[in-house]
Amino acid sequence: MIKAIIIEDEKPALEDLIDTLGAIADDIQVVATLGSVKESIDYLSQQPAADLILSDVQLGDGLSFEIFNQSGIRIPVIFITGYDEFMLNAFEYNGIDYLLKPVEKESLSKALKKYRMLEKHFTDHHSIANLLQYLGNHKRKRIIVKKGMENISLRLEDVVLFYTENKIVYVIDRWGKKYLADKNLSEMEEELDSSVFFRANRQYIININFVRGFKSYEKVKLMVDLTLPELNHCIIVSQEMAPQFREWMHNA
């Protein structure tokens, strides 16, 4: 029996989801229904026994992503929402699928099938904890950035660097185009693949695929040479970070 938690603040949507689950699966037990970010954080922080979460993204008191940020829960999530603008973010928070409202039986059935396949795969490999580790270690492949009024899905492999200036974080791609990011560098650093991106100093995070090389600077620091010199950014790795940077480059 799959123990499921539903996070949904609209009663009709909650009832429809429960009815749809009952119609397509007889092995799912809804153990809790939660209606807000605060209620969900309080409940999930107690580490309840559950196998799967079905969660709306937009709740009355905020986005459900904050629930998983604060509770530290490591349960697979099927996100459900009326909008597709959060799709890329969903997979940063234990998301295994993303469904649009109104939820159709076929879509929900496919999402549950995906969960069962993942569960079986990792259970067969001796530990369901491996599934949670897989979800927790899954790094994003794209990032939503802004250019004027437009939201753009940018592939991380095309990002040369992130940098902050006057408390604003900018993103520069391989073509030299500049965008705005909606997170600070520390938050960004946590979400990026550390084998590809390196926090050179307080101002810069750089992509190893655009690093031509490096040289000594002021004896104890390092100056990074990018493959796009026309960007006109002088990136200095501090004395404290220089050993880690050398190791990062050598292990690439």
pLDDT of residue 98: 84
- Is 142-250 in CATH node 3.30.1950.10? no
pLDDT of residue 125: 45
User: pLDDT of 194-237, one tens digit each?
Assistant: 888 999 999 999 999 999 899 999 888 999 999 886 778 889 99
From 25, 24, 7, select the one nearest 105 (Cα to Cα).
24
The Cα–Cα gap between 242 and 204 comes to 14
From 184, 151, 156, select the one nearest 172 (Cα to Cα).
156
In this structure, of 80-84, 137-141, 185-189, the range with the lowest mean pLDDT score is 137-141
In this structure, of 129-133, 176-180, 236-240, the range with the lowest mean pLDDT score is 129-133
Q: Band of the pLDDT at 130, cuts 50, 70, 90?
A: low
User: What φ, ψ does residue 239 adopt, rounded to 5°?
Assistant: -60, -40
Asked whether 234 and 223 are in contact (CB, 8 A), the reply is: yes
Mean pLDDT of all residues in 9-13: 93
CATH number among 3.80.30.20, 3.40.50.2300, 1.10.3720.10, 3.40.30.10, domain 2-137: 3.40.50.2300
Q: Hey, where are the domains in the chain?
A: 2-137, 142-250
